[in-house]
Structure 1
C-alpha cells in the first residue's frame, strides 16, 4: 500500500488464491506478532489512550488496532479454521509528500483440495481452509500484513501518521483500522493472483477463482478464457472490465448511486459523443440536466497552454465569459484555476490533463467560494477539442451526469474494476473502480467518504468475497 497526500491504497504486488461458503457463526482471526524486541507491536514508547484504544504504549495500541480490524472481519466471515495474519511494522519507503503505508496479501494458496468448487484453480489460503474445514497449511499464517513504522515522522508525510483510535475520528490522519479492513480484504480473497501486467497465471498456469468473475466488455471474454496477451490488454482497458459475480451484481442497486460524470460533446458532429470525466470535490455538483455551453480555450503561456494560475488577462476574460473554460493542468492547484476562471465570468471549467492516461481522475481540492462546476478530461480528448478550437471551429458541450448509469457500474449494472491506462502495479484489477459512488472500501484510494463497513448497504466487499466462496 502506498500513500500520497490523498492516502492512496494498493495491494501487495505478489498475491495468492480464493474459495466457497458455509454457514457457520463467525471466524477467529489471529494477529501473529512478527516484530522484534522494541519495535512495531513491541515498541515501548508511552502513549495516552485514544479513541477507545486503551493501550498505554505505542506497540500495544498498534496491536489493539490490528485485532479490532481482525475482529470486525471475523464477525462477518464463516470459517471453522482460525485465520492467522503475520503482521509487523517496518520502516518503509517514504518522503515528505508520499509514503508506503503498508501492504497485505495471502501467504498461502491452494488448488484441487477436497471440496474445491473448481478443479485446476487457485484459491487464497484462508478461503481454501474455510472450504476444507480443516487447516491445510499446518497452522502457518495464511495472510501477511506489513505497515510503515515511520509514517508521520519528519520526511515521511510529517503530521499524517496513523490514527490508532478505534472510533474513526481520525481528523486528517490515516485511520489505521479502516486501512486494515481494506488490506485484510486483499488477504482474504479480494486480489488477483494472475499477473495483470503480463497476463501470466500464477505458478503452474492455473487460473485463480478471481479470473472466472472478471469480464472484459471489449472482447466479451472472462479472464479465465483469455490468452496472456488478452489479459494484459484487458488490464488497461479503462472502465471496460466488470465483475460478473451474482452476489455483487444483485447488491449494486442497493449501494451505488445513479449518475456518472461525463462531458457530452454536441457539436460538431465529428467530435460528438460522451467523454469520460472526473468530477471536482469542490464547486457546484454535476447534475443530470447538465450545464450546456460553448467551450473556450484559455491561453496565457508562451507555448499556447492556459494554466489560469493568476487572474485572467482582459483578453482571456472576454474569451471565457459565459462559456466552459478549457484550462490546462499544471503548476497550481485545481481550485485556484477554477476560481480564477469563475472570477472572469466562466460558467464552468474543463481541466485538460497534461499526461496520457485514462480514465481521468477527479479534481481534489477545497474552496467554498467556488460556485461553478468543474471536471477533468483525458489529454487525448482535450487535444482533439483543442485541434478543433485552434482551427477556429466552435465546440459545444454539456457537462453533467449520465443518470442512466450507476456510478461505478456498466450499462447492465455490473460493478467496474480498476483498470487505468497505464497499468498501476498493486492497484490495477485488484480494486473496484474509482468512479464508484459512494466511495467503496476496496478502491485504490482511501477517502473521507469510505465507511468502516464491508457489506451492504454501504459497501460491496463482502458480497464479492461471497462470489468467491466465503
Structure 2
C-alpha cells in the first residue's frame, strides 16, 4: 500500500498589498527538478540499463530522471503559472516488507496564508500560493539547513522496491508507455505524488483529530486555527455541512464517514459525468431477496457479466493457512466451491492469490469481502487468473455468508438451498459519486493516515489517478473522460 505523509510544512504568511505581479497574464507552468541524491545513488545510479518503453536512458539513474522529466512536462502543459515550481527529488529507503511497500511520497514543503491573490485567513501549498500571488513567496528567506528549505515540493521514492524484502519482484517500471505488466508504473506513481505536492491535499488539517493548523504554523489546534483551501469544497452528506463550517470533532467524524464526503467544486462535479454507472447486485435466498449491494471489480481476471452470477458458497478456512483462501484448497473446500462462487474474506495474502486458489479448485467466480468497514476495491495482477471477482464491504460479506449458511437447511439432502445473485447497473448513480453526482473523497473507517481525505474514493470507476492506489488501468491523462485531477485543480485556483 502506498502511504502519503503530509510532509514537513514550513508555515509562512505574507501580509502585503497586492502587487502588479498578480495581474500578469498566466502562462504554462515551469517545473525545475533539483536532485538531492549523492553520487552513484538514485538519479545518479550508473548501473547499465536497456532502454525500455520509450525511455532512452542507458543507466538506471538516467532512466529514473527521464521519467521524472517526462511527468514534470505533463504537469507543465496542464497548469498555468508565471512562477517557476521547484521540486526537490530523491530516492530513499522507505518502509518495506516482502509483501508490501511504501512506493513514495510527496508534499508541499512550504505553505502560506494571507498573501495577495489568496483567500484571507486560509492555508495554501506554496506552488499554488505562488501562482495566485504572481511571485515566489519564499524568495530570499534563509534556508532551514536542509538545502531545500525554499522549494515548493519535496518528493522521495523507494530505492529498495522490488528487492526480496521490499515487495519482492515488483520494482518500478521505468518505461513511459504504460506497459508496466506486474511492475509498479513509476510514471503514474510520480504523476500522482506530484499531484499531492501541487495541491491535491487537505494540507493543514489533522484528519485524526479534525484540528486545524494555527496561524503561526506551529501546532494543530481544536479551535482558532486557519482553514485549508480545500475545506469549502468538502461537503459531508451525513452532517450536511462543509468542512469550512464544522468543528474539529465534526471534521474528525467526517474523515471516517465512508462514501459520504463529497467534493462540490463545479469543475470536478461537471467532470464526474465521466464516471460509469454504479455496479450493484441483488442476491436472493430461499427466504427472500437480500438488500441490493454495491460492488467493485478486480483488475485481474475477466469482467463479470451483467445478468447472472451463479451460486454463492461459503469457504471453510483451512487449518494453518495465513488467511482465508491463501493456500491451495483441500479436498473438502474444493468440493464445496466447484462450479460455484465462494465468498472469501480479505487478509493474509494478495487478492489475486485468493482468487487463483479458488479458480484452481473449480470456482467460477469469487466474491471478496472486506475485513474492515468501507468499500473494497481489490488490487493486484495475475495473468493466470481467468475468472471474475468482485469486492464488497465487510457488512455485505457477513450478510451474504449468513444467508448462505441459513440457506443450506432449505431444499433436499442432495440439493440443499442456495443463494444466487444477479449483477446490474444502477440507472441513476455513478461509481465514486454521491446521489447528487458529486465525486467522493476517500474516508475509510478506520482512518488511514496520509491517505484518508486527500484522495478520490476507491469506488470511482474508471479508476482515477488520485485514488490511494496506483491501478493498472491508469493513463497519464489528467482530464475527462480519463480523469478528474485537472478539474479539481481548476476548482482550487490553478
Q: Pick from 252, 257, 260: which aligns with 1:232?
A: 252
8 A contact 2:200–2:454 mirrored in 1: yes
Give me the whole-angstrom Cα distance separating, in 2, the residues matched to 1:324 and 1:250.
38
Give unpaired runs (5+ residues) of structure 2. 12-21, 141-149, 216-224, 411-416
8 A contact 1:308–1:327 mirrored in 2: no
Give me the whole-angstrom Cα distance separating, in 1, the residues matched to 2:249 and 2:50.
54
1:40 is matched with 42
8 A contact 1:279–1:363 mirrored in 2: no
SS at match of 1:380: helix
Give me the whole-angstrom Cα distance separating, in 1, the residues matched to 2:265 and 2:337.
47
Q: Which moved more, 1:195-204 or 1:242-251?
A: 195-204
8 A contact 1:22–1:131 mirrored in 2: no
1:210 is matched with 230
1:358 is matched with 374
1:257 is matched with 276
SS at match of 2:191: helix
Question: 1:225-248: per-residue Cα shift (whole Å, max 9, x none)?
Answer: 112112111112111111111001
Give me the whole-angstrom Cα distance separating, in 1, the residues matched to 2:248 and 2:4.
21
Offset of residue 123 of structure 1? 1.0
> Cα distance 1:416–1:169, how it changes in 2: closer, same or farther (>3 A)?
same
Give unpaired runs (5+ residues) of structure 1. 1-7
Question: 1:66-115: per-residue Cα shift (whole Å, max 9, x none)?
Answer: 22211210111100000001111122232322222221010111111112
2:152 is matched with 142
Residue 408 in structure 1 maps to residue 432 in structure 2:
yes
Offset of residue 442 of structure 1? 0.8
SS at match of 1:362: coil
Give me the whole-angstrom Cα distance separating, in 2, the residues matched to 1:330 and 1:101.
21
Query: TM-score, normalised to structure 2's length?
Result: 0.80
Give me the whole-angstrom Cα distance separating, in 2, the residues matched to 1:80 and 1:270.
63
Give me the whole-angstrom Cα distance separating, in 1, the residues matched to 2:380 and 2:41.
36
Give me the whole-angstrom Cα distance separating, in 1, the residues matched to 2:317 and 2:169.
36
RMSD: 3.3
Q: Pick from 71, 74, 77: which aligns with 1:72?
A: 74
Offset of residue 12 of structure 1? 2.7
Question: 1:388-417: per-residue Cα shift (whole Å, max 9, x none)?
Answer: 554557775534243322221222211111
8 A contact 1:30–1:67 mirrored in 2: no
Q: Which moved more, 1:147-156 or 1:96-105?
A: 147-156
Residue 11 in structure 1 maps to residue 27 in structure 2:
no
Q: How does 1:202-351 map to 2 (within 5 A)?
A: 202-204=213-215, 205-253=225-273, 255-258=274-277, 260-266=278-284, 272-282=290-300, 285-291=303-309, 295-299=312-316, 307=325, 317=335, 325-329=342-346, 333-339=353-359, 343=362, 349-351=366-368
Residue 174 in structure 1 maps to residue 189 in structure 2:
no
Q: Which moved more, 1:53-62 or 1:401-410?
A: 53-62
Residue 434 in structure 1 maps to residue 458 in structure 2:
yes
8 A contact 2:256–2:445 mirrored in 1: yes
8 A contact 1:15–1:191 mirrored in 2: no
Offset of residue 198 of structure 1? 1.6
Q: Pick from 171, 177, 180: which aligns with 1:161?
A: 171
Offset of residue 364 of structure 1? 4.6
